[in-house]
Amino acid sequence: MTSDEFRRRLDQLREVIARGSAYYAVSKKLRYREEGKVSWSLEEQNRILGRFHGFLTPVGLGLLDMAFLEFAKVFDTDSRTASLWNLLGAARQDTSLVSGRTSAEVDEVSGRFRQSKKVLSWLRRTRNQRLAHVDANAPLLDPLLVKEFDCLVEDVQSAFNWLWTAHHGKGFRWDYWLRKVEEDTSQIVGILLEELSRRDAIAERTRS
C-alpha cells in the first residue's frame, strides 16, 4: 500500500469512527441519565422518554444500530475496505507508513483487542444476521453490555489516534466533536423537559 493510499484510507476510517461514535453518544444520552452531567432526575428523563416515545425510541434504537454497523466496518477484513485491521496490517508490513514505529509496536496496538473477542464476534454476527441481512433462523444473541461497547469504542479511538499520529506526525483528538454531540443532545432533552413543565402548568391552571 502506498503512502497516499494509506493516508486516504486513514481519512475514510476517521469518518467511519466519527459517525459511529456520534451515533452511539446520542443513543446513550437519550437512553441513560449520567449522574452529575445533567440537571434533571432519572424520573424526569423517563417521563420525557415516555411522553415522546413515538419519536425518541425509534431514534435511539436506530442510532444504536447504526453505531454497531459503523464499528463493524472498523474490523472488516476485506482487503478492499478502509478498516482498522487492514491499516494495522499494512503498517506491520511496511513500517515506513508509520514513521519511527516498529512492527512490534503495531502488534502491541493490535493486541489491545485480544480482550474484545467476545464483543467483536457479537458485532460481526449482529451485522451479518440482523443489520445487513435478516437471517431467518439465526440464534438469538445475548445482549451486549454498555460497558463492553464503551471499552471497545475507547480502544478503537485510541488505536486510530496511534496510527494517525504515527503517519502524520501530529495528534488527533475526538474530544471537541463528541463533547459537542453530547452537549447538544442534552440541551434538546432539557428543552423537551421545559416543554413538559409548561404543558403541566397550563393544565394545572385550566383545572383551577
Note the pLDDT tens digit of each residue in 42-80.
Answer: 888 888 888 888 998 999 999 999 999 999 999 998 999
Q: What range defines the domain where residue 85 resides?
A: 3-207
pLDDT grade, residue 153 (50/70/90)? very high
Tally the C-alpha atoms within 13 A of residue 147's C-alpha that lie toward its C-beta: 0
Please state the rounded mean pLDDT for residues 111-139: 81
- C-alpha distances in Å from residue 56, one per residue of 31, 34, 63, 133, 205: 9, 17, 10, 25, 28
Q: Considering only 1-10, 116-125, 129-138, 193-202, which range has the smallest mean pLDDT?
A: 129-138
Q: Structurally, how many domains does the chain consist of? A: 1
For 70-92, the pLDDT digits (tens) are 999 999 989 999 999 999 999 99
Q: How confident is the model at residue 138 (pLDDT cuts 50, 70, 90)?
A: low
Query: Which residue did the predictor score with more confidence, 35 or 70?
Result: 70
Q: What is the pLDDT of residue 173?
A: 82
Instruction: From residue 29, give the alpha-carbon distance in Å to each of 91, 144, 162.
Output: 36, 17, 28
